[in-house]
Structures are given as structure tokens and as C-alpha cells.
Amino acid sequence: MAMAPLDLFLLASATVFLFFYYCNMLSGRRAKRGGGEGDGGSSRPPLPPGPKGVPVLGSLLQLGAKPHETLRALSRTYGPLMRLRLGCVDVVVASPPSVAASFLKNDSNFGSRPPNSGAEHMAYNYHDLVFAPSGPRWRLLRKLSAVHLLGPKALDELRWVREEELGVLVRMLRARAEGAGGGAANVGKEMHVCSTNALARAMMGRRVFEKVAAGEEGEEEEMRKAEEFKEMVVEVMTLAGVFNIGDFVPWLKWFDVQGVVRKMKRVHRRYDVFLDKFLEECRTSAKPGAVDLLSVLSGQKGKSDGSGGHITDTAIKALVLNLLTAGTDTSSSTIEWALTELIRHPDILEKAQQEMDSVVGRERLVTESDIPKLPYLQAIVKENFRMHPATPLSLPRMSMEECDIGEYRIPKNATLFVNIWAMGRDPTIWPDPMEFRPSRFLPGGQGEHVEVRGTHFELMPFGAGRRICAGTSMGIRVVHSTVATLIHAFDWKLPEGQSADGIDMGEAFGISLQKAIPLMAHPIPRLALKAYARV
């Protein structure tokens, strides 16, 4: 028998009251156990300081639309290591490199992810690589990905695929420049098509958007599909970055008060249909003896994953989803930010072009083997990683056991975030942090010896430690070679009536940091005609 509306209201009110009472009691017990919060007698280290928040929700409502900015503001009040209560979950946020290092070097305790709706509803219930708990299956998937796609040997062997797709991009942009009116390019979308096709070919032996690359009839329709695919990828990355109330207040999970889970399920269904169709096409067209990642994974189906389970189609789809979302969205958005900064700073752009002209010339396109000879380009990429990290907040980690970090105690099952975005804009680390200044990474600059592979904690756009992004090496190569190609092969002009100073630099928060307003710019060829010819 259905309950009357009044009965439902009274039940909900009683539930909230009891939950509030329970949380208050729990917080009081934690405070007494924590020491340093008025108990006067405990020798145990205190919990890190932080805002108290409101009943039930804690500080969830404080985070706003841009949590990375909110957390930086709060850290100025509460210190470099602070604790927030989000619902029933203890969350600790590290901002300066020294504090982040204390956590990330302690991989044995902070090597797993906390439970979250994104992994459950979009990443095939933790069957993927990004959110899977540490263990044999996670290690197996990471190993196979490294050997057949993301490791140094595989990256060298597949370099020709990435350079071929960059050639396709260059010819497409040149054709656009020579068209009627020299149409402006949606830079983020064009980069996403290029990176998706390059990754799909390396991973599965065929492009996702074949007609775009071949210039066949129907290219316009294919570009529309590419735009829809990018929107789907961005939605996945955006939803995965939402602080969903149900993840922090289990009693409210069923209500889905933000509608986040409903959206996650909807986009997952769309992505699942796409993956089923595309993977079947890849398997049908695969050549005998193929050793791409998909073929290897398909050959592993039914075999033990080392954890008592087996490699299944679900695990394969989950890994492919990881690679086709995080592997394309982060690189394309990073490249879009870099080109935006260079258009805003024409003196830096001109200096980079002069360096490439002297090393590469104007008779051919730049290649990956040229990058080590282009120190100013490398400095530009590092400066872009500093100001526009691919992930503003590190993907969350969870403490497996209670531990002490510095003078504070970190509870068991606490969620850890490292504010990578805030580090890049910290004036105590980087003088004049809001200035785009690549020279800080050249010889004599304070960042001369800083690298981005997780060994220098003041600049770690890919994270650090055991759960560092599996695609770090690929991301570094792709960003360097693509940015180099775009500014070597073309000059860039903004649409009529728009000035460099007027470019909107607003951010759209998610797991990756998108430009809120996409960059539109006209490519103007600057190389000899033969440089654009199909090889």
C-alpha cells in the first residue's frame, strides 16, 4: 500500500533528523579521539583543520561549480593540509608540493580509489583501469596497456600512426584555410578528432572517423558524428568530476537529488552502444596475427586476471572507454589551452616559430624526433601544464589505514585530493604565477630542472606515484608534437572583431579542465607547399 504524501514527509524528516543526530555524535567522538580539539589529554595527533560545514551535508554546498578554486581559497584560511567533512566522508586536501609528496610517496596506503558513482555507473562498475582497486587485475590491465600501447617501445613503434594522423589534420586545416572565406576552425573539436583517430588506430587498428581522414563524400556528416562523440566524451569527464551528494551521504544516494546518476546511466548507455558496434567492427576487420591492444585483450578473454576472475568483454570495454575518454579529452583540451595562450602572446608564438624554422625549416612538417632539439617549445608546453593542468584536482585516493602526515592524523578511509591547479598558481612556488612565461623553464629559470613525470611535485599534471596516469608518456609526446605542428605549419588569426585580449579564458570544471568557450581561429599556412603534401 502506498504511503500518503504527509507520511512520506514525516518519514523523510525523521530520517534526516536521526542522520543529523548520528553525524553529530560521530563527529564528537572523532574529535575526542583526535586530540588537539579540546580533549586536553590525548597524545594522538589532531585531525587537520578545516571548515565545520552544515549538518548532514558538511561542506558539500561550499564547493560550488569550480571546486578547485574553492579549495584553494579555503586552504588560505585553514592551511596547506586541511580536512573537510563532506557528508559522512573525511576529505583531506593537499596543496603545496611538500605536503602532496608526503601522501603520494606513501603509495602502500594511498594506492586505491574511494567508491564513487562515476566508476559504478559509467566505468562498468570498477572494471576499468582508472578507478579499479589496486590488485592483480589492475596490474594486469596496466601491464598489457604499457606493453602494447603506452610504454616507450610501443610508443616508438606506433610513432608513424600519430605522425600520419597529424598529417591528415594539417591537410584538413590547409583545405579549410583555402576554402571560401577561410573558415575558422573549432580547435578543440579538430584536436579531438585527430587524437581519437590516432589512438584508435594504435589501439584497435582502425579510425573512429574514417571519412574525416580520407576526405571522402560524407565528410560533413562524419564531422557531425565527431562533434556528437566529443560531446559524449566531455559529458563523461564532466559527470565523473561532479561531487555527487549520494557518494558522501549514503542515506540520500537512492534519491539522486542532483540527477547525476540518471545522467551517468544515460551517457553510459550511449557509450556502451557505440563500443559494442565499434569493437565488433574492429574485430571483424582485424588482420590475422594482429598484436594491437584490442587483439591481445581479446586473446586474453576467459583467462584468469590473477584475482580469481577473468578478462571479460566488460573489462575490455571498460579499458577502451578509459582510453577513448581520458586519452583523448585531456590531450585535446591541453592543446587547445596552449594554442589559446600562444595567440594571446604573439611574441612567444613568434619566438617558437623562429626556433622551429631554424631546426626544421619550412620544407617539411615537424616530427617527434625534432622535439628534443626544440627547448623553447618544451618550455611552452611545461608552462601550459603549469597554468592549465589536464586534471585540476588529482583523481581521488583513499587511505587504507589510519596514518600520520606531518603533525596531523589522517583517518582510515579518508579521501585525498591534491589541488594541482592551485600549485601551478602559487606565488610562493612560481613568481608572477598568472603570467604565461615559458622562460621560467629555460636554463637559469627557477623551473629549469623541473619535469612533469611525477618526480617533481610542484608540477605534476599527470599525478604521481603508483596511480600516476598510465598514459603519461603518450600524453607528453602527443601534446608536444601537436602543439609544434600547429604553430609550425600555420599562423593563427582570430575571427573578425575579436582581439587576443578579449579571448574568454573561463574554465569548465570536470575531471579535465575544458575551456568554457571553445577557441575559434583561422589557420594561415606558412610552410612551402610540398610540406603539406600527402607522403
Q: Is residue 9 situated within a structural domain?
A: no
How far from the centroid of its chain's Cα atoms is residue 511's Cα?
A: 5
Which residue would you say has higher pLDDT here, 227 or 526?
526
Calpha distance 41→44 (Å, rounded) = 9
Task: Work out whether strand 89-94 and strand 81-86 pair parallel, antiparallel, or are unpaired.
Answer: antiparallel
Number of Cβ within 10 Å of residue 13's Cβ equals 10
Distance in Å from the first CA to the final CA of the chain: 73
- Band (pLDDT 50/70/90 cuts) for residue 179 is confident
- Which pLDDT value is given to residue 6? 37
Which residue would you say has higher pLDDT here, 417 or 217?
417
Contact 157, 492 (CB under 8 A): no
Contacts of 347 (CB under 8 A, 6+ apart): none
In this structure, what CATH number is given to the domain that contains residue 247?
Answer: 1.10.630.10
What average pLDDT does the segment 97-121 reach? 91
Calpha distance 405→83 (Å, rounded) = 12
- Beta bridge partners of residue 86, listed in sequence order: 58, 89
Contact 407, 401 (CB under 8 A): no
Calpha distance 10→461 (Å, rounded) = 48
Which residue would you say has higher pLDDT here, 345 or 327?
345
- Which pLDDT value is given to residue 346? 97
- Beta bridge partners of residue 90, listed in sequence order: 85
Closest CA to 396 of 111, 85, 175: 111
Calpha distance 374→357 (Å, rounded) = 10
Q: Is residue 229 situated within a structural domain?
A: yes
Q: Tell me the whole-structure pTM to 2 decimals.
A: 0.91
Task: Work out whether strand 415-418 and strand 89-94 pair parallel, antiparallel, or are unpaired.
Answer: parallel
Calpha distance 236→252 (Å, rounded) = 22
How do residues 393-442 score in pLDDT, each as one tens digit?
999 999 999 999 999 999 999 999 999 999 999 999 999 999 999 999 99
What average pLDDT does the segment 110-114 reach? 92
Q: Is residue 385 situated within a structural domain?
A: yes
Q: Is residue 276 situated within a structural domain?
A: yes
Looking at the chain, the whole-number percentage of residues with pLDDT higher than 70 is 90
Q: Is residue 505 situated within a structural domain?
A: yes
How do residues 356-405 score in pLDDT, each as one tens digit?
999 999 999 999 999 999 999 999 999 999 999 989 999 999 999 999 99
Assess whether pLDDT exceeds 70 at residue 319: yes
Calpha distance 457→406 (Å, rounded) = 17
Calpha distance 447→430 (Å, rounded) = 8
Task: Work out whether strand 514-515 and strand 507-508 pair parallel, antiparallel, or are unpaired.
Answer: antiparallel
Calpha distance 93→75 (Å, rounded) = 8
Assess whether pLDDT exceeds 50 at residue 35: no
What average pLDDT does the segment 29-45 reach? 52
Summarize the annotated binding site for heme as residue ranges. 469
Looking at the chain, the whole-number percentage of residues with pLDDT higher than 90 is 76
Q: What is the DSSP letter of 500?
A: G
- Beta bridge partners of residue 520, listed in sequence order: 186
CA distances for 310 relative to 137, 303, 305, 316, angstroms: 9, 5, 5, 11
Summarize the annotated binding site as residue ranges. 469
- Which pLDDT value is given to residue 535? 58
- Band (pLDDT 50/70/90 cuts) for residue 459 is very high
**Structural domain tally of the chain?**
1
Assess whether pLDDT exceeds 70 at residue 196: yes
- Band (pLDDT 50/70/90 cuts) for residue 311 is confident
**Grid cell listed for 479:** 601534446
Calpha distance 520→187 (Å, rounded) = 6
Q: Is residue 79 situated within a structural domain?
A: yes
Assess whether pLDDT exceeds 90 at residue 74: yes
Question: Kind and range of the H or E element at 418?
Answer: strand 415-418
Calpha distance 125→182 (Å, rounded) = 46
**Grid cell listed for 453:** 613525470
Q: Is residue 10 situated within a structural domain?
A: no
Kindly provide the b/e burial profile for residues 380-394, where b requires at least 16 CB atoms within 10 angstroms of the residue's own CB.
bbbbbbbbbbbbbbb
How do residues 168-177 score in pLDDT, each as one tens digit?
999 999 988 8
**What is the span of the domain harbouring residue 503?**
45-532
Assess whether pLDDT exceeds 90 at residue 9: no
- Which pLDDT value is given to residue 98? 92
- Which pLDDT value is given to residue 38? 39
Contacts of 532 (CB under 8 A, 6+ apart): 170, 171, 174, 365, 489, 525
Closest CA to 332 of 208, 199, 173: 199
Assess whether pLDDT exceeds 60 at residue 339: yes
Contacts of 266 (CB under 8 A, 6+ apart): none
Q: Mean of the per-residue pLDDT values for the chain?
A: 89
> What is the phi/psi pair of residue 402, to 5°?
-65, 145
Contacts of 242 (CB under 8 A, 6+ apart): 118, 258, 260
- Band (pLDDT 50/70/90 cuts) for residue 443 is very high
Q: Is residue 175 situated within a structural domain?
A: yes
- Band (pLDDT 50/70/90 cuts) for residue 213 is low
- Beta bridge partners of residue 84, listed in sequence order: 91
